Structure 1
Amino acid sequence: MNYLKYITIAFLIFTLQSCSDFLEQEPGTQTSIDELLQNKEGVLIALKGLYRNVEGTVREERFSVYSDLQGGNIKFTPTSSGNSLGQITPGVNLREAYSFEDMAETSNFASFYSGNYSIINQANLILEYTPKLKDATETEKKQIQAEALTIRAYAHFVLSQIYCQDYEYTPDASHLGIVYNTESIKSGLKYPKRETLANTYSLIITDLKTAIENYSETAAMAGPIYSYFNKNNAKALLARVYLYKKDWANAYETANDVIANSGFKLVNATDLVSQWAQPDLPVSEALLEFSVSKDSESIVSTSMSNYFGVTSSTYAHYVASNDLVDLYESNDIRKQLFITVHLQTLVNGVLTAVPYNFTRKFQDNAGYVAFRLSELYLIRAEAALENNQPALAMADVNTIRARANAALLTNTANLKEDIFLERRKELCFEGHLFFDLVRNHKGITRNDGCISTNCGMAYPSLKFVLPIPQSNINLNSNLQQNESY
């Protein structure tokens, strides 16, 4: 037990030391958790390190491209040089998962699973030490706790997206959820079982509601407001959770609250393309975009452009599939968010210049867009439809379509499918499609660019969730593996 506790503490210290403003220490000395978190300054350093871990985990290739790749919005680019010039192969980090053939022993997502539980443990440490601070006001302590609670809920939620079937997979959501940790390992080693998905969502919602009650108007740390959790984007997360739970009344109310009271406005049509093309800033309607890490000279080492970027001399691994591009009407200004480049590709053994569509959303130093106001309009639309208010739903969809210069809907006959397709077009590359397909009980159909052994798969499927990494199963005999693995 002590060994694992110290491993966890050492990991947290290592994480904090990666921050450029970590407290200076004499060579060879160490800082214990008790020493580090005994005052407000130390807790804020820990919180900043925690955000770095969250950003690195969700922006990392596995999670950031997974939903669009599995759903069919994106495909791979050809190899740019060497003996494999022009060949198209899946990325090593997603090779098995892409084909729905991931294995517990060698899971592509093993680091994602352990990384999120490390984030949860660090959030719990902050939650445990913050109430004891003597140099922070009650308002400051509540703000720190609110951000840590939101991070804890967020990490559990993204884990549930990857490892749990959708909420209505069983009538009462009694199927497997995830382990929900509310205490750090420092308080003692435990071997918990997985909650049901119903309990998992209940715990996520409780954490978020508590956090929202504790938020103040002042962020815990200095920096861009869009980089940290606050009351508005915590409500956006809660609205998304209600959407996945199909709690339509609360989804509508929460999304409406953000739209009406957050002070955020949709980017206007004139600025939509130019704002996405900004090299260092998110679009103004971004409720949360985790800032990318920079070194002491403000140089970014890695960002979303590592996966979607294109320059005059290099290009990344992922582009839009024609399955996605062909959905847009000819006058839709969102088509201007594609950058068409011809790349040498082996076609029937012959190198051929083939057009590929990169996205302007994630060029230069782009961060991971976690929540955007457009999503809240589409959540409100879906919830309104399910609450038997189709006119309100159509109005919200048309708000998004009008900005894009797309033809407005004139009837509600196929509104459920219209909302689904609008989400696919508006939120592409932002991590929604596969999860939208599954929660709507739709199968997977990947046509253009699919090089998987499984390009189509009907709902329901045991392979719509990934295996719990075997190394974690070995550590906890109470941790039940997902069926079929």
Structure 2
Amino acid sequence: MKKYLYKITFTFLVSLTAISCSDFLDIVPQDKILEDQTYSSETGVQNVHNGLYLQLASNSLYGRQLTMDAVEILGQQYNMSGSRPEARLASYAYAEKTPKETISAIWEKAFTTILSANKFLESIDEHSGVISSEKANLLKGEAIAIRAMLHFDMLRMFGPIYKIAPSDPAIPYYDAFVTTNNPLLPAKDVVAKILADLDTSLGLLANDPVLIVGKYDTAKTFDGNPYYASNRGQRMNYLAVKCLKARVLLYSGDKVGASKTANEVIAFTKTNSFFLWTPFLEATNSFNPDRTFSSENFFSLSDYTLYTKQTDLFDSSLADDKIYAPLLSRLNTVFESNDNDYRSLPSWKIPIVGGKTQKTFFKYEDVADKTKPFRLQIPMFKLSEMYLIAAETAEVPANGIAFLNTFRFNRGLLDLGAKAVLATEITKEYRREFIGEGQLFFYYKRINSATIPNGSAASGNVSMGPLQYIVPLPDSEINFQ
């Protein structure tokens, strides 16, 4: 981690300034002066805080690799046959050049962002009084949740298969801004630290405007300042942190805790007028389809380069050996040849241009109305996942089927029969629901599935085990341990 310190210093203030110095001795005093200047105003504090979200939206993190690119390739979501370098990830050839570079970039950006969050937390306490304690608690709660989320995804990616080896060494945990490497911790200890951070975050977010019953009035919260009270769905708000906690608890095998937390989130949506299921006509609108089901998203990440990535990865003009797309037979299997599924109809189409005879991915395509609030948003935590968790953790299978049927109804699907195999149906929904969102590979790893469908072949499976599921730590981390 010491290797990244100098980069972190710059990244922390990247949204504020461009500074050039020849060596560390020059950087330190200037950086300290700049930090004091930054934290002397509320605007400066907000700018640094917002910079954390800009880092989350970087290509190496949720702006690409952890949502629609690398982890989706690992989950066999696309046909990666051919000689393109990215295809080696689909074969889990982690030791080869392109996979190693991709993996290293993910790791480095995740931990520089973690340390940026830690630096923000340290600095906002050091400069207390610039903003009210109520506002500071909101920003600190979000920063701690960001730190926990990144550690969790690094654990899911680089850690052991938790179901069978929770005591195996996994990743370091950084809950303070330090300049030395922390040791690798057992996976169960990392989970404990993540959950502790999430509980701290929830305490700090106790007065989150998102919790006000009904459609909250920004004029009555946080002095009407829109930075704190508006667009809470684009922030790691209280409910998003609850969703993350449910996800972590389920990962760790605590089904009782996961069920309780997911059901708390579901209960909130039943008594409020927001975070509701997206209606069919909104999801499938001909001109402005809400393909990401924005009303259901407790946290969506704003990415102002999203449509560039849609073009770079999924555009129908791309050559067959460049485009990220599944084989049509595989896609038909995923959706059971049901184009009435809300997730199929607007997001998977045979394009008018580009000469493609297969369906291509349109989830992140821009819409005609540029004022739509769901533009430029990548889903991170969703109502649908809470129903899937509630279904998986239900004490009685019939209750699990009931949760799943509510979810299916809101995706245009018929109810399952009483004899449906719950685990099988949940797997089907993970394959449909999270395409382009980076959750399927982690789902397979969590349940320790022995095989997964081979995305680069019309039939057959890929055998999975520790060599496939456990992404090796980058050389840069191993060499500094």
CA distance, structure 2, for counterparts of residue 174 and residue 102 of structure 1: 23
Alignment of 1:74-473 (within 5 A): 74-76=78-80, 88-90=82-84, 92=85, 94-103=86-95, 106-132=100-126, 133-170=128-165, 173-185=166-178, 189-215=179-205, 216-218=207-209, 221=228, 224-262=231-269, 263=272, 264-274=275-285, 277-278=288-289, 283-293=294-304, 302-310=308-316, 317-321=323-327, 322-331=329-338, 332-334=340-342, 335-337=344-346, 338-341=348-351, 355-364=357-366, 366-384=376-394, 388-447=395-454, 449-450=456-457, 456-473=461-478
Moved more, 158-167 or 198-207: 158-167
| Other structure's SS at 1:287 match | strand
CA distance, structure 1, for counterparts of residue 252 and residue 462 of structure 2: 23
CA contact (8 A) 1:163 1:466 kept: yes
CA distance, structure 2, for counterparts of residue 424 and residue 10 of structure 1: 39
Whether 1:33 and 2:41 are equivalent positions in the alignment is no
Which residue does the alignment assign to 2:11? 11
| Other structure's SS at 1:288 match | strand
Counterpart among 63, 66, 70 of residue 63 in structure 1: 66
Question: Cα 1:222–1:301, aligned 2, differ >3 Å: closer, same or farther?
Answer: farther
Moved more, 199-208 or 223-232: 223-232
Please state how far the C-alpha of 1:122 moved relative to its aligned partner.
0.6
| Other structure's SS at 2:79 match | strand
CA contact (8 A) 1:227 1:289 kept: yes
Please state how far the C-alpha of 1:343 moved relative to its aligned partner.
8.6
| Other structure's SS at 1:75 match | coil
Question: Cα 1:15–1:354, aligned 2, differ >3 Å: closer, same or farther?
Answer: same
Letter in 1 for 2:277: L
Moved more, 36-45 or 223-232: 36-45
CA contact (8 A) 2:75 2:440 kept: yes
Please state how far the C-alpha of 1:5 moved relative to its aligned partner.
4.6
With normalisation by structure 1, the TM-score equals 0.79
CA distance, structure 1, for counterparts of residue 152 and residue 4 of structure 2: 25
Letter in 2 for 1:124: N
Which residue does the alignment assign to 2:218? none
CA contact (8 A) 1:305 1:362 kept: no
Question: Cα 1:220–1:205, aligned 2, differ >3 Å: closer, same or farther?
Answer: farther
Q: Percent identity?
A: 23
Letter in 2 for 1:336: L
Letter in 2 for 1:383: T
Moved more, 148-157 or 130-139: 130-139
CA distance, structure 1, for counterparts of residue 290 and residue 38 of structure 2: 36
Moved more, 302-311 or 438-447: 302-311
Letter in 1 for 2:92: F
Question: Cα 1:98–1:284, aligned 2, differ >3 Å: closer, same or farther?
Answer: same
Please state how far the C-alpha of 1:193 moved relative to its aligned partner.
1.1
Whether 1:73 and 2:112 are equivalent positions in the alignment is no
Moved more, 122-131 or 325-334: 325-334
| Other structure's SS at 1:239 match | helix
CA distance, structure 2, for counterparts of residue 434 and residue 2 of structure 1: 30
Please state how far the C-alpha of 1:88 moved relative to its aligned partner.
4.8
Question: Cα 1:436–1:146, aligned 2, differ >3 Å: closer, same or farther?
Answer: same
Please state how far the C-alpha of 1:221 moved relative to its aligned partner.
4.1
CA contact (8 A) 1:140 1:220 kept: no
CA distance, structure 2, for counterparts of residue 12 and residue 373 of structure 1: 32
Moved more, 259-268 or 390-399: 259-268
Moved more, 49-58 or 317-326: 317-326
Q: Would you say how many aligned residue pairs link Structure 1 and Structure 2? A: 430
CA contact (8 A) 1:305 1:316 kept: no
| Other structure's SS at 1:380 match | helix
CA contact (8 A) 2:117 2:144 kept: yes
Question: Cα 1:456–1:289, aligned 2, differ >3 Å: closer, same or farther?
Answer: same
| Other structure's SS at 1:152 match | helix
Please state how far the C-alpha of 1:366 moved relative to its aligned partner.
4.1
CA distance, structure 2, for counterparts of residue 339 and residue 118 of structure 1: 38
CA contact (8 A) 1:256 1:380 kept: yes
| Other structure's SS at 1:265 match | coil
Structural RMSD (CA): 3.2
Letter in 2 for 1:201: V
Letter in 1 for 2:11: F
Question: Cα 1:412–1:243, aligned 2, differ >3 Å: closer, same or farther?
Answer: farther
What are structure 1's unaligned runs of at least 5 residues?
Answer: 19-28, 77-86, 295-299, 345-352, 479-485
CA distance, structure 1, for counterparts of residue 409 and residue 153 of structure 2: 31
CA contact (8 A) 1:288 1:371 kept: yes
Question: Cα 1:354–1:275, aligned 2, differ >3 Å: closer, same or farther?
Answer: closer
Question: Cα 1:8–1:401, aligned 2, differ >3 Å: closer, same or farther?
Answer: closer
